[in-house]
Amino acid sequence: MESQLLKPKSRTKSAGDPRDRFARDKRTGIANQVTVAVASQPSRTAILIVLFLASIVPAALLLTCLRVREARGPLWLGSNSDPSYAYLFNSLLLTEHHVPTLVEHPGTVCQVLGAKVLTCVHRFRRPGRLVDDVLRDPEFYLNFMNTTLLLLYAAALAASGYLVWRSCGSWLAAAMYQLAPWASFTCLLHLCFLEPEPLLLTTSTVFGALVVMYVTRPNSAFANRFALPLGAVAALALGSKITALPLVIIGLVLLPGVRSRLVFLSIVAGGSFLVTLPILSKYIAVYDWFRANATHVGDYGSGATGLIDPQRYLGDLGALVIAEKVLTVTVTLSMAVIAMSWLLPACQTRDDRFRLVRRALAAVVLGQLVSFLIASKRPSGHYLMTSLGLVGLNLVLIHQLLRAQWYRAWLAHALVGGFLLWAGHGQWIGIPSEIARLEAHKQVQLRVGQECHSRYLGRPVIYFYRSSSLGFALDFGSSFSGQYFATALQVAHPELITYNIWSGSYYHFSERLSTDMVETLNRKAIWQGSPSVMQDPNYRPREVNLRPVLDAEEEDLFEPIRGADEPEIRQHPQAGTD
């Protein structure tokens, strides 16, 4: 039975049937492309050549990310420490056989991978305890962990490009697929941190390649087989971050029949459980976090009870749509192609293969629209990372549908090529300007630290939110690990004092300072951190009046004001949020 399904005659209608351009024109049919791709088995030399060519774009991506990482500066800078240092400390907890405390996302896959990298690197670095070495030189380990995430994504991008070429028989399709990370500078930027976003790009890239392989298979008997890898990749992504939910939606819409969907959901559920086993005892905390975010209108489950704040939500949705314009245009173009394939009379007689590709594109669009709706509750581009990673899949499916609908294949090439030129021109201009912005931001933050040491040498410094200090970054990471490493940090940084803007308390890592000590400190201490905190009466300290020293927007120094005539703190533009 299966051998009959694999024959070209069972996959296409007769060449003389005018209703089916799949069989009439080799250039315009998905089925004929599949016939060529399946029938021709490339030699080993050809495979090596293809893999080399498929590695060109990932290599360019690595070089670009290294440049972005250089412009970004060290991860202990105020704008960089969140969330990289939090994930570093939770990975370190796993090496000590303790349960991570940062479980809200849940982020478990990133933490487990980080723990493995820490252990392997330390074996070749120096003798002694791993914890002591990490606390002594955290930036070395952070860069190594981020490089691992980068290499994983580059390998996935190269392999996916090869698989798309084998499935579609088209170099253009493979090239389009690999352009996903260039769709937004958000992708390039978040590839340079220790966080789940690089893993989301990796899993969405692999997931998309599996979708392309599935829709170009010669018969529907592969549905149950593809439910297994699709479910496994989706489970890995969900274990990294809940914003990978669009992958589950795509799988449910794409796969046919109840059986294949049940298999897919079973793999997703079982795989998610397996990859989050290290936080099994924290499942209730994860549930409470998700429930709070779903039932409150504010950030991180705060604010009034409700699903959304209508006055704020629509504005945030519009801002997100404008900020990620390449993704927005891609989704809009996808919807237009789907509508055209439904409305044009010539497209209504297409075979099952055409309908499968159209359903796949509809599934991807639905998942991306859902991600927009979820991310708009707290608008930030990195919450769209899964959808951004699927942009290449959008383009491949659009191109395949257009080639099937239009007799002249060059029309499909022209439309998709025009879109790529528009997006590429924007990124050609945008990426250098964003790198320059990061470089300028880095220099401002480094200057604040230099000015603090040169002007106020010998005076105590109180670090608060977004402070560019290695000690503050370590304290930030330690606070997300239950202060398990506080004792070792107190020995390594005996003079570090931090101010918690949420509790209004002063700390030396886990040790809360007494009122008398705070009064003594505030007479002569210099404050370093975000100017936006000093504008907000809910967060700035009430027991001391401070004024800015450098008038910097991103980060500043503040000194206490003495005397009866105390001027107001100068207002600064609001600092950005992560």
Give me 471's structure tokens.
């000690």
CB-based contacts of 431: which residues, under 8 Å, 6+ apart? 64, 185, 188
Structural domain spans, the chain: 2-432, 456-560
pLDDT tens for the chain, 578 residues: list them: 333 333 333 334 444 443 343 333 433 344 444 333 343 566 777 777 878 888 899 999 999 999 999 999 999 999 999 999 999 999 999 999 999 999 988 999 999 999 999 999 999 887 789 999 999 999 999 999 999 999 999 999 999 999 999 888 888 888 889 988 888 899 999 999 999 999 999 999 999 999 999 998 755 566 778 899 999 999 999 999 999 999 999 999 999 889 999 999 999 999 999 999 999 999 999 999 999 988 888 878 788 888 888 888 999 999 999 999 999 999 999 999 899 888 876 665 567 788 899 999 999 999 999 999 999 988 898 999 999 999 999 999 998 888 776 655 666 667 777 777 777 767 778 889 999 999 999 999 999 999 998 888 889 999 999 999 999 999 999 999 999 999 999 999 999 999 999 889 999 999 999 988 888 888 889 999 999 888 888 888 988 889 999 888 889 999 988 654 444 443 333 334 44
C-beta separation of 118 from 125 below 8 A: no
Within 283-324, residue ranges assigned H as helices are: 283-295, 310-323
Phi, psi for 527 (deg, rounded to 5): -105, 145
CA distances to 504, 519, 526, 527, 533 from 515, rounded to whole Å, are 12, 6, 18, 18, 22
Q: What is the pTM of this model?
A: 0.88
pLDDT for 521 equals 86
Burial class (CB in 10 A: 0-12, 13-18, 19+), 406: middle
Alpha carbons 444 and 27: distance in angstroms, whole number: 55
Q: Exposure string (b/e) for 48-80, b if CB count within 10 Å is 16 or more?
A: eebeebbbebbeebbebbebbbebbbbbbbbbb
How far out from the chain centre does Cα 182 lie?
13
Alpha carbons 370 and 518: distance in angstroms, whole number: 48
Alpha carbons 175 and 164: distance in angstroms, whole number: 9
Give me 314's structure tokens.
């629509």
Alpha carbons 231 and 342: distance in angstroms, whole number: 29
Alpha carbons 92 and 89: distance in angstroms, whole number: 5
**What's at 22, amino acid-wise?**
F
Dihedral angle sign, alpha carbons of residues 444, 189, 143, 107: positive
Burial class (CB in 10 A: 0-12, 13-18, 19+), 516: exposed
Give me 317's structure tokens.
């949705």
C-beta separation of 522 from 560 below 8 A: yes
Nearest-10 crossing angle of helices 223-240, 197-215: 170
CA distances to 4, 38, 61, 152, 509 from 476, rounded to whole Å, are 63, 54, 30, 27, 9
Within 376-500, residue ranges assigned H as helices are: 385-389, 391-405, 409-455, 470-479, 486-492
Query: Coil, helix or strand for 205?
Result: helix
Query: DSSP secondary-structure letter at 55?
Result: T
Query: DSSP secondary-structure letter at 384?
Result: G
Phi, psi for 207 (deg, rounded to 5): -60, -45
CA distances to 104, 449, 574 from 311, rounded to whole Å, are 27, 40, 21
Indicate left, alpha or beta for 300 from its phi (over 0: left) and psi (-120 to 50: alpha): left
Residue with token string 């600092």:
575
Residue with token string 């359903």:
359
Q: Other C-beta atoms within 10 Å of 451: how many?
A: 17
